[in-house]
Amino acid sequence: MTESVDRLFVHCRQLVTLTDGDPTGPRRGDAMRRLGVIDDGAVAVREGRIVAVGTTAEIRAAYDAPEELDLDGFVVLPGFVDCHTHPVFAATREREFHMRCAGADYMAIAAAGGGILSSMRAVRAASLAQLTERTERHLWRFLEHGITTVEAKGGYGLSLVDEQKSMQALEQAGAGVPLLLRRTFLGAHEFPPEYRDDRDEYVRIVCDEMIPSLAPLADYCDVFAEPGVFTREQSERVLRAARAAGLRLRVHADEIQPMGGTEMAVALGADSVDHLGQISDAGIAALAGSDTVGVLLPGTIFFLGKSGYAPARRMIEAGCAVALATDFNPGSSHTQSMTMIHTIACTQMHMSVEECVVASTINPAFSLQLDHEVGTLHPGKRCDLAVLDIASVDAIGYAFGGNPVVMTVKDGLPVVANVADHNPDWFADGAVLDEEWEGGEE
Ligand code: NIG
Ligand code: FE
């Protein structure tokens, strides 16, 4: 007797299940080194949820379905979880990129009114409809890169009305894209020109006006805690006000100069502390003893042309729960490629492929309280998959500079097929091209 399901994905060359560890909770140390790979793997799906994983023979013996998609030759992973992004922006900043390449400093560009403030001007000038349209385009691109869950921050409005417009644009854009989305209020991203000489007044406005009014549009509050931006004391004020309004906490900390931001984030019980290029030994120890996830953003260091990657090896050996994210934004990290982030994490931070996979699936899912829903292929979770045209799991970061993702599956349905760039033979056999494939993307 076989059990009926909606769909089978069969003949994955390698299916990375992560089912040889706990379904929920962060993975640390040795637990970051196991992927639960099944050769010739298959997934049974009902109502968008995983019913079982196993070899193709095992799954076919136990389940029957009206539809079977043959993923012969591809490596299939849980959809990537990107837990740190800034996709609500209206204009790119490529001139700044070249100014930095010619020697200008990121913080100096910011102090001179460029950087985040240039994005602020573009967001303020955009209508809600324009900002929504841009944001929606950015959200689709995550799916093209196999990312199925995204944490998205505002933070380029820097006033009540413009942060409200940003969070509304995110809400409206998200409604049109099949991503699992978490929203973060980031009014404390920079000081707007109106308050550059009265910074405490801006902190007061964030705490007393923006947070109470925008909390219903967000799940998290974040702060750019960095010398020259929000001091430790100002950051704490914002984070405490956010918690009082029912928001959970994330923190940009210890990015460029150390400020004890990690210790502060851990002490406040933040769900994540992010960047960490300058994390101290005390910060590593505090993080290792906590459930705060250390989110590393090596694309930022790479794109800014800086040295000072986060000490991933020491953090993993110390027992920190480590995640990787794109930090997608128009200034310091203009990429949505999680596989490119793997490349940089491997070459610059000496992380293994197994650690990179765990750090871009279950650990970021835990940091978003979504580990019961996504991040591994345990039965009961959403069937979110990234399908890669590579020879083996080891080639995820090896195949750099292109997009190895040929298909993204969300809640059991293929939503993106990057057909043009990839192995035409696979489509030539006609096994997989059906109506659902064509329906997903604009
Ligand atoms: O995470 N560090 C602060 N915020 C962003 C950069 C924002 C920007 O330059 O637009 C980051 O890197
Ligand atoms: Fe960021």
Query: Of residues 384 and 256, which shows the higher confidence score?
Result: 384
Same domain, 195 and 329: yes
pLDDT at 274 over 80: yes
Residue 433: per-residue pLDDT: 44
- Say which DSSP state 231 is in: -
Same domain, 323 and 352: yes
pLDDT at 425 over 90: no
Among the three residues 367, 400, 431, which one is the final residue of a domain in this structure? 367
Question: What is the pTM (predicted TM-score) of this model?
Answer: 0.94
Secondary structure E strands in 269-348 = 272-275, 293-296, 322-324
Q: What is the mean pLDDT of residues 11-39?
A: 97
Ligand 1: nearest atom to the Cα of 115: 9
Q: For residue 222, report the distance from its CA to the centre of ligand 2, in Å.
A: 9
Same domain, 142 and 231: yes
Same domain, 44 and 113: no
Among the three residues 348, 367, 386, which one is the final residue of a domain in this structure? 367
Cβ of residue 300 lying under 6 Å from some atom of ligand 1: yes
- Distance CA(249)–CA(222), nearest Å, equals 6
Q: For residue 426, report the distance from its CA to the centre of ligand 2, in Å.
A: 38
Residue 398 lies in a domain: yes
Same domain, 71 and 86: no
Residue 434 lies in a domain: no
pLDDT tier for residue 441 given thresholds of 50, 70 and 90: very low
The CATH number linked to 376 is 2.30.40.10
Closest ligand to the CA of 332: 1
Same domain, 155 and 297: yes
Same domain, 384 and 338: no
Ligand 1: nearest atom to the Cα of 116: 10
Q: Whose CA is nearest to atom 3 of ligand 1?
A: 224
Q: For residue 84, report the distance from its CA to the centre of ligand 2, in Å.
A: 6
Q: Which domain holds residue 221?
A: 80-367
Cβ of residue 331 lying under 6 Å from some atom of ligand 1: yes
Q: For residue 86, report the distance from its CA to the centre of ligand 2, in Å.
A: 6
Cβ of residue 115 lying under 6 Å from some atom of ligand 1: yes
The CATH number linked to 195 is 3.20.20.140
DSSP string across 348-390: HH---HHHHHHHTTHHHHHHTT-TTTSSS--TTSB--EEEE-S
Same domain, 30 and 145: no
Average pLDDT score, the chain: 94
| Element of type H or E holding 27 | none
358 near 27, Cβ under 8 Å?
A: yes
Same domain, 100 and 64: no
Residue 58 lies in a domain: yes
Residue 332 has a CB neighbour count (10 Å cut-off) of 26
Ligand 1: nearest atom to the Cα of 332: 9
Same domain, 363 and 399: no
pLDDT at 339 over 50: yes
10 near 68, Cβ under 8 Å?
A: yes
Residue 418: per-residue pLDDT: 82
Number of compact structural domains in the chain: 2
Q: What is the mean pLDDT of residues 376-385?
A: 98
Residue 103 lies in a domain: yes
Among the three residues 328, 348, 367, which one is the final residue of a domain in this structure? 367
Same domain, 64 and 164: no
117 near 111, Cβ under 8 Å?
A: no
Strands 413-417 and 405-410: antiparallel
Same domain, 234 and 172: yes
pLDDT tier for residue 108 given thresholds of 50, 70 and 90: confident
pLDDT tier for residue 239 given thresholds of 50, 70 and 90: very high
- Distance CA(76)–CA(37), nearest Å, equals 10
Question: pLDDT tens across 280-295, in order?
Answer: 999 999 999 999 999 9
Closest ligand to the CA of 119: 1
